[in-house]
Structure 1
Amino acid sequence: MADVRVIERERRDRLGEGPMWSARYEALFWVDILGRRINRMALTDGCVDSFEQPHYAAWIIERETGGFVAGIGRNIVRLDLETGAREPLASVDPHNAGNRLNDAKADAMGRIWAGTMPVTCDRPSGAFYRLDPDATLVQVDGPYTIANGPAIDPDGNFLLHTDTARGTIFRFDIHGDGTLGKATPFIVFEEAWGSPDGMTFDAEGGLWVACWGASRVMRFAPDGTRDRHIMLPASQITSCAFAGPELDRLFVTSASSGVTEEHAGALFEVDPGCRGLPTQKYMG
């Protein structure tokens, strides 16, 4: 097993997700969706803070002008972490009260791509949305049972999005007006790989995918062929992100809900042997 460091902290996540590096704050942010918390770890000293939220904390993304935007329950809000102040921007899935937001990323145009899913994970009632800088919300695809892991390629020409329940990562061309091309299967997971969850690109165009149920993160070459994997001491691996001033540290989240493993719900750090891409911010 490659060198894996378990980050020491007071609590484990029920459903850790959405790690995001902020150069501005010199910190890694991530969420505990079921624990309804946003976590922050300062990379300078390893200090971890946790901010309780009023509903499922699906994701947090930095704003270009300062502060954050977050997916909380079915609402997208501007968020001041220190004061807890929230300013509503948009609400998703108005006719599906049993749904929630799940996983999102910003692109180089300052837009957010975010998926939704049923809390019960058992029916295709979710969708995929684009939030523009002016707060216009547009549904771009659907339906999804477990919408997961949007990742935008280094050149911004296409994005990848997953329905974990179908074990497939789909590829979409991004058009100039923000619309998407037809979904085409890019990577279909084999049973031994678990299920595809959160993912991120590295600077070489390689795709790193968290493998739920398979205790690993996997790297795929730009053409979608399997390159290598790193094993982790937890089965429910949920997402990953590059962090640090040189973007050469890979942090991996996990979940503890439904399992009793020693390191379930831990935050891990592994040596990826490559660098990541700068974090994109929301322009709204």
Structure 2
Amino acid sequence: MAFQSISPERHQLAEGPFWCDRSRTLYWVDIPAHKIWSWRYGTDRYEQWRMPEKVSAVFTTDIADTLVVVLASRVARFDTVTETLTDVCMLDEDRPNNRGNDAKVAPDGSLWVGTMDDKEEQACGRLWRITADGKKTMLLDNVGIANTFAWDEDRQCMYFADSMKGQIHRYPYPLFKDVRDQAPFAVAQQGSGPDGSALDDDKALWNAQWDGQRIVRYLSDGTIERVLELPFKRPTSCTFGGPNRKTLFITSASVGLESQLAEQPLAGHVVAIETDVSGPPSQPFRLTNKTGQ
């Protein structure tokens, strides 16, 4: 099983891989380095942009040369030509120790953002739904470490994880409600936590497991169909991309592994591996949708 390194350097905490079909470009972030990265598929062309604070997710939009970024304190538009930021909305203004974490664009074009205590001590994070006009709706409170966003419209559900609890839950969608008092969809193995995920075209969930050195493919009934063993201990997320969207791009962290890097030379890199299944196209954030519908 061959992993190809995609990133030009080792990152501290690479996260949030996002594949753009239109430009055949992979985006990701390095959270503590305050950087957004992009790579044009099949080339040696990389771009990077430094943000004024921690950045945890990045997405294309329906406006040319404009990205939407999840920063520690806010969601903002980023013009890649002028390199200027324009606020969409603030996040947890009343909880200054919180920061944005995992996020993804839902099928309706809205942005779902999870926040967390930056010190990873308190379960004071939230789950927000944000629309183009900057309107935000809080869907969950008292979240530990918000991770995993994936929607299965056929089953009218979405997946969301709290890494602090080690659990992935399946929530109703679009009629969202809190189901955390119910049995979880999946629980990560002891000593690891569910991080970011991707849904494939067979509606199976590929979940990166922090400190587990693996990605687990869960079928829609929660059965583990396969385990992908990785060359690093701390995978952070994954997404499908490439020309036929059968390439799985995986982000990872090197932070906290400084004494183990000789044994894990790809830790902190973004890697790619070919799979036998494809994934759906990624959703851009609909900035031109002013109605919030």
What range describes the TM-score normalised by the shorter chain of this pair?
over 0.9
Deviations 1:164-217 (A, max 9, x none): 0100001110235xx43534411112216x210000100000100001001111
Q: Distance in 1 between matches of 2:209 and 2:275?
A: 16
Deviation of 1:82 (Å): 3.3
Give the 3 Å change call, closer, same or farther, for CA 180–132 of structure 1 in structure 2. Answer: farther
Residue of structure 1 equivalent to 2:290: none
TM-score normalised by structure 2 residue count: 0.91
Q: Distance in 1 between matches of 2:62 and 2:153?
A: 19
**Alignment partner of 1:63 out of 56, 61, 66:** 61
Q: Distance in 2 between matches of 1:12 and 1:247?
A: 25
- Share of identical aligned residues, percent? 29
Residue of structure 2 equivalent to 1:111: 110
Residue of structure 2 equivalent to 1:280: 283
Check the 8 A contact 1:13/1:255 in 2, yes or no.
yes
Secondary structure of the structure 2 residue equivalent to 1:204: coil
Give the unaligned 5+ runs of structure 1: none
Q: Distance in 1 between matches of 2:29 and 2:136?
A: 23
Residue of structure 1 equivalent to 2:171: 172
Between 1:40-49 and 1:136-145, the stretch displaced more is: 40-49
Check the 8 A contact 2:140/2:178 in 1, yes or no.
no
Residue of structure 2 equivalent to 1:247: 245
Q: Distance in 2 between matches of 1:13 and 1:82?
A: 24
Check the 8 A contact 1:154/1:205 in 2, yes or no.
no
Q: Distance in 1 between matches of 2:221 and 2:141?
A: 25
What does 1:15-26 correspond to in 2, within 5 Å? Answer: 15-26=13-24
Deviation of 1:86 (Å): 1.0
Check the 8 A contact 1:148/1:163 in 2, yes or no.
yes
Q: Distance in 2 between matches of 1:240 and 1:246?
A: 16
Deviation of 1:99 (Å): 0.8
Q: Does 1:264 align with 2:267?
A: yes
Residue of structure 2 equivalent to 1:86: 85
TM-score normalised by structure 1 residue count: 0.94
Give the 3 Å change call, closer, same or farther, for CA 70–155 of structure 1 in structure 2. Answer: farther
Check the 8 A contact 2:153/2:173 in 1, yes or no.
no
Check the 8 A contact 2:125/2:145 in 1, yes or no.
yes
Secondary structure of the structure 1 residue equivalent to 2:282: coil
Residue of structure 2 equivalent to 1:209: 207
Secondary structure of the structure 1 residue equivalent to 2:164: helix
Q: Distance in 1 between matches of 2:254 and 2:75?
A: 26
Secondary structure of the structure 2 residue equivalent to 1:166: coil
Residue of structure 1 equivalent to 2:150: 151
Deviation of 1:146 (Å): 0.8
Residue of structure 2 equivalent to 1:137: 136
Secondary structure of the structure 2 residue equivalent to 1:224: coil
Q: Distance in 1 between matches of 2:113 and 2:155?
A: 16
Give the 3 Å change call, closer, same or farther, for CA 151–78 of structure 1 in structure 2. Answer: same
Give the 3 Å change call, closer, same or farther, for CA 34–76 of structure 1 in structure 2. Answer: same
Deviation of 1:281 (Å): 1.5
Deviation of 1:102 (Å): 0.3
Deviation of 1:35 (Å): 1.1
Between 1:114-123 and 1:57-66, the stretch displaced more is: 57-66
Deviation of 1:154 (Å): 4.7
Aligned residues: 279
